Structure 1
């Protein structure tokens, strides 16, 4: 590329980055303002107008720490199920030969077109009435325990692995679980991180199902607690605009940090590390 083309690309990418990041910046600045300024000029804050009072007001009403712990338990349970069941299913569909293999993969893809909202009423009846798991972490986690999208991602990664590695290990007497643990998993680390990141967003921001299954405020995750706060309390505060943005910052911060830290795994592959040159 010519020097002019490189400069032009840098300018375009820089402008795109500013446009993308500006809403996050504006959200943080707005959450710190004592007197809200919803105009564009409010993007350049006056130091004397900055405070943490908005975060204190939110915490006084909904206990951010408890809500964060609830979100962590809910999201952690979903991630654990996604990784364990997704890896096992993806490995079975990619590396093993069994009757109905292609049909099972087709069903895993097909189930993604079914909206979760369509299943919420029967799931609520099943989990809340039949299992008695309302106001329970397990009741929140169960509908999301198996993620078909993650299963498809793991299958596609396993299909890229050299089969010779697995055949050589089988000749040495390794079983399938040993193959998966010692050979497969080290080579699909980017898929593991990608699956975690993609799955993390869903339960962390999930509102409707936890709202339906939990009535006890001490068991509600952050998204539900913030929604209740915004609906019932924020309007009565001195700075509703800042309170709402403070809640949005608390909810969005973990997702943004995770993507910044682990974004390289979306494009990296470690397949070559298992093959000698």
Structure 2
């Protein structure tokens, strides 16, 4: 994809997978940036994705802790409902959510309108619950004896012990909203607020054919879109690997 984005003339043959110094150029990046603002698209994607990740982590930690550690009536039923949500495709909810957010809440053409449908992630709730269940109960009992409240228990005892899963949830959650284009496209028609994935989809469907090298320009946009996701994974890879290894260790 990177090599294709740098080619002055598209080379679909197997040799095109290798860089040819005589066929390399940055014109594809300049071309697509002149048609869609790559920097503004990245900023919008960052706002959208950051808001979703923040809400997912906060609500996921609170709900997962409540389902795993606290004792209250209806806990099993609530967890069953969280599991049931997993079988409902988001596409079935899209039209009702659009009516609710755009018409009833008046949040069309806003970042908040894009974030709200993804603010609570049932998968994150389930993942946090399972990790909190693995923590020894004695740790919480000892902290309660010392006078710690539930929020102090969550902040000082539980969260430091599940740090790898925090990173895992962030990475897994990041991919969805970062690449999401259908919902943001529905909720906002303002190009200055659309994430980069939406701008690229509009570019491919509307103006790519008019570019000097449509193939290279599309790949250039894809490189810009993929780079933050790859960079984030590389930075947090050791935490992600730690969570995978820890999940297979008993005791």
Distance, in Å, in 1 between the alignment partners of 2:143 and 2:128 is 20
Distance, in Å, in 2 between the alignment partners of 1:130 and 1:173 is 45
2:47 aligned residue: 73
Matched, 1:252 2:219: no
Deviation at residue 148 of structure 1 after TM alignment: 0.4
Deviation at residue 44 of structure 1 after TM alignment: 1.6
2:4 aligned residue: 30
What is the count of residue pairs matched by the alignment?
244
1:6 aligned residue: none
Name segments (4+ residues, structure 1) moved above 3 Å.
none
Work out which of the residue numbers 161, 177, 185 in structure 1 matches 2:159. 185
Distance, in Å, in 2 between the alignment partners of 1:165 and 1:146 is 28
Deviation at residue 267 of structure 1 after TM alignment: 3.3
Distance, in Å, in 2 between the alignment partners of 1:259 and 1:39 is 31
Matched, 1:114 2:88: yes
Work out which of the residue numbers 103, 110, 128 in structure 2 matches 1:154. 128
SS of aligned partner of 1:113 = coil
Greater C-alpha Rg: 1
Deviation at residue 264 of structure 1 after TM alignment: 2.4
Distance, in Å, in 1 between the alignment partners of 2:170 and 2:107 is 25
Distance, in Å, in 1 between the alignment partners of 2:87 and 2:238 is 29
SS of aligned partner of 1:233 = helix
Distance, in Å, in 2 between the alignment partners of 1:227 and 1:256 is 20
Deviation at residue 260 of structure 1 after TM alignment: 2.0
TM-score, normalised to structure 2's length? 0.95
Deviation at residue 235 of structure 1 after TM alignment: 1.1
1:9-158 equivalences under 5 Å are: 27-158=1-132
Which range is displaced more, 251-260 or 169-178? Answer: 251-260
TM-score, normalised to structure 1's length? 0.86
2:249 aligned residue: none
Distance, in Å, in 2 between the alignment partners of 1:95 and 1:221 is 38
SS of aligned partner of 2:242 = coil
Distance, in Å, in 2 between the alignment partners of 1:46 and 1:116 is 44
Structure 1 unaligned blocks of 5 or more: 1-26, 273-277
